[in-house]
Amino acid sequence: MSSMIESDELVALRAAVSALGHRHGPGFDRAALWAEAGKLGYLGVNLPEEYGGGGGGMAELSVVLEEAGAAGAPLLMMVVSPAICGTVIARFGTEEQKRAWLPGLADGSLTMAFGITEPDAGSNSHRITTTAERTEDGWVLNGRKVFVSGVDIADATLIVGRTSDARTGSLKPCLFIVPREVPGFQRRHIEMELDANEKQFELTLDDVHLPADALVGDEDAGLLQLFAGLNPERIMTAAFAIGMGRYALAQAVKYAKERQVWKAPIGAHQAIAHPLAQAHIELELARLMMAKAAQLYDAGDDMGAGEAANMAKYAAAEACVRAVDQAVHTLGGNGLTKEFGLARLVTAARVARIAPVSREMILNYVSHQTLGLPKSY
């Protein structure tokens, strides 16, 4: 991306993270890359300087994830730990919570997972059934979560529960920090047909007792705090998808330049060249929308960022899937071999279409919020 659009600092950050990613490359050791990225300050670029972060925002953090992915070394937990959990704690946490968590999230020595999805709620966050009841000295949580990434490597999980509103009698969402080894907090590994470093888990919370300070932020501002973490999640999912798409496209372009069956390399034929050019265009367009979403979010425009973040996530997922598909087709049979490492991306690319929210729910969002069309639900 031209420096006319990105600052010199962002351009330099891209180059530095790209170099780091390529040093590790495909088949990378996740823990080693995570530790080095944290030590160099890349994991916490969005967190406040007074707590060990870089003082930047989602613009910087999304660049880090995109470039790592483009080098074949994506770090999925960046979507969760610094982007969602770090942002929520930085914006709404108590001073004690900030001091306890932000320096570690920034340097990578602490990791936090995020649990919102439930087996029966899906994309409907209003149907969350995990409850939190107040006790004399804190809270008791009960419920289930599903498809929670990296719980086994996370020091704690930020759990979305619901508390009773004394004024209305209804339940409202609230966020709780649940340490990994607290009694009653159990996890079950979900076997996935997905080649990823990070594992997926189903969580059971059975009378999990937490201290009063496990609650993040104001109990009455739960929904605001929840959505403050979801916009960064969408921006970072876009970065994850764009990085993956760029990686796949780069492998295909390299192959198309070198592979020669008749007189010229296969990349000289428009049937090969044009679809790759289209994939590049679509990835660049998605990247621009991601940059817009990050800029709006960093400027404090949560409403504008919500629209742009959803659009960026949608566009990036579609561009990624098409780039990966075209890369595999460009290599033909080689595209399905372990040697070139593209076949595993066919499944991985679809994750961005499904998580953290399906493309159909994003189309619903744009239909209702942007176009003003009536709801069907």
> Phi-psi category of 209—alpha, beta or left, where left has phi over 0 and alpha has psi -120 to 50?
beta
Structure tokens belonging to residue 26 = 């495909």
For residue 166, pLDDT beyond 70: no
Q: What is the mean pLDDT of residues 40-63?
A: 98
Break the chain into its structural domains and give their ranges: 8-111, 113-220, 223-370
Q: Between 87 and 120, where is the model more confident? A: 87
For residue 4, pLDDT beyond 60: no
The pLDDT, as a whole number, for residue 3 is: 46
CB 172, CB 226: distance < 8 Å: no
Structure tokens belonging to residue 210 = 């937490």
Residue partners of 374: CB distance under 8 A and separation at least 6? 368
**CATH classification of 223-370 is 1.20.140.10, yes or no?**
yes
Confidence of residue 228 (pLDDT cuts 50, 70, 90): confident
The pLDDT, as a whole number, for residue 165 is: 63
Confidence of residue 122 (pLDDT cuts 50, 70, 90): low
The pLDDT, as a whole number, for residue 222 is: 63
Rg (C-alpha) for the chain, rounded Å, is 21
With b for 16 or more beta-carbon neighbours within 10 A and e for fewer, the 204-213 pattern comes to ebeebebeee
Structure tokens belonging to residue 363 = 């189309």
Q: What is the mean pLDDT of residues 269-293?
A: 98
With b for 16 or more beta-carbon neighbours within 10 A and e for fewer, the 108-123 pattern comes to bebbbbbbbbbeebee
Region 8-111: CATH code: 1.10.540.10
The pLDDT, as a whole number, for residue 123 is: 63
CB 339, CB 283: distance < 8 Å: no
The pLDDT, as a whole number, for residue 343 is: 95
Q: What is the mean pLDDT of residues 7-29?
A: 95
Rounded Cα distance between 283 and 290, Å, is 10
Q: What is the mean pLDDT of residues 280-296?
A: 97
The pLDDT, as a whole number, for residue 1 is: 47
Q: What is the mean pLDDT of residues 267-293?
A: 98
Residue entry with tokens 């997922």: 317
From first CA to last CA, the distance across the chain in angstroms is 40
The pLDDT, as a whole number, for residue 227 is: 74
Q: What is the mean pLDDT of residues 123-129?
A: 74
Region 113-220: CATH code: 2.40.110.10
In whole numbers, what is the pLDDT of the chain averaged over residues?
93
Whole-prediction pTM: 0.95
For residue 2, pLDDT beyond 50: no
For the chain, what percent of residues have pLDDT higher than 70? Answer: 95
Phi, psi (rounded to 5 degrees) for 205: -110, 110
Q: Does an H or E element contain 202, and which? A: strand 200-211
